[in-house]
Amino acid sequence: MDVKNLLKNKIISDAIIVKPSLINVSKFINHQIDMNLMYDISTFFVEHFKDKKPNKILTVEASGIIPAGLVAYFMGLPLVYAKKKSPITLGGDVYSRKIFSTTRGEDVPLAISKAYLNENDNILIIDDFLSSGGSVLGLVDILNEARTNIVGFGVIIEKGFEQGRSRIEEMGIDVFSLIRIKSIENGIEFDT
């Protein structure tokens, strides 16, 4: 069975619809993690993005770290992730933004040390979910300030009924989602 069908089956069997706009996949993606599934997902991303020639993979802590980390590992690249709270050890020389987290229902700070991004970087962003696009747009803002080149954005699950994709594509960024969910109002309905 291919990775898309594996993921769809996992979503159907193990995801929980919290409300008409929120879906909980903590049983296999972002709390308890199905590492075999993550392996398959990451190799799918590697195959899709290999010709984009990234030199760094970027994500947001915490749920994006495992898929992005596996992509980085298979591509032989470093993984950089935006911290949601800037620890004292990071120092003050950071790129930072506040983003709205749909899952948390509040603004969340993001911080990345300036030591890990520069104008010679070709960045591939990998994350677990795409909803409104707030997290990715915060990262894009940071990457633009650092004058990096963004080569693409790969996401495991996209909520196609929200505006995240169009907001990101308007910025000229290639968006690739493994699975697009069309609706969760009356059960989970996938885009083809």
Region 32-36: mean pLDDT is 95
Q: Residue 92: what pLDDT?
A: 74
Whether residue 29 is predicted with pLDDT greater than 90 in this model: the reply is yes
Q: Residue 86: what pLDDT?
A: 66
**Range with the poorest average pLDDT among 31-40, 43-52, 90-99, 106-115:** 90-99
The number of residues in the chain equals 192
Whether residue 60 is predicted with pLDDT greater than 90 in this model: the reply is yes
Region 161-168: mean pLDDT is 93
**If you average pLDDT over every residue of the chain, what do you get?**
92
Whether residue 62 is predicted with pLDDT greater than 90 in this model: the reply is no
Residue 68, φ and ψ in degrees, nearest 5: -65, -40
Whether residue 167 is predicted with pLDDT greater than 90 in this model: the reply is yes
pTM: 0.94
DSSP-derived secondary structure letter, 148: -
Domains annotated for the chain, with CATH where assigned, are 3-81+115-190 (3.40.50.2020)
Looking at per-residue pLDDT, the higher value among 100 and 63 belongs to 63
DSSP-derived secondary structure letter, 28: I
Whether residue 11 is predicted with pLDDT greater than 70 in this model: the reply is yes
Rounded to whole angstroms, how far apart are CA atoms 140 and 19? 29
Instruction: Provide the 3-class DSSP secondary structure of residue 147.
Output: coil
The torsion region of residue 21 among left (phi > 0), alpha (psi -120 to 50) and beta comes to: alpha
What token pair was written down for 153? 């954005």
Residue 144, φ and ψ in degrees, nearest 5: -65, -40
pLDDT digits (tens, 9 = 90+) for 85-139: 766 666 678 998 888 777 677 788 899 999 999 999 999 999 999 998 999 999 9
Residue 154, class by beta-carbon neighbours within 10 Å (0-12 exposed, 13-18 middle, 19+ buried)?
Answer: buried
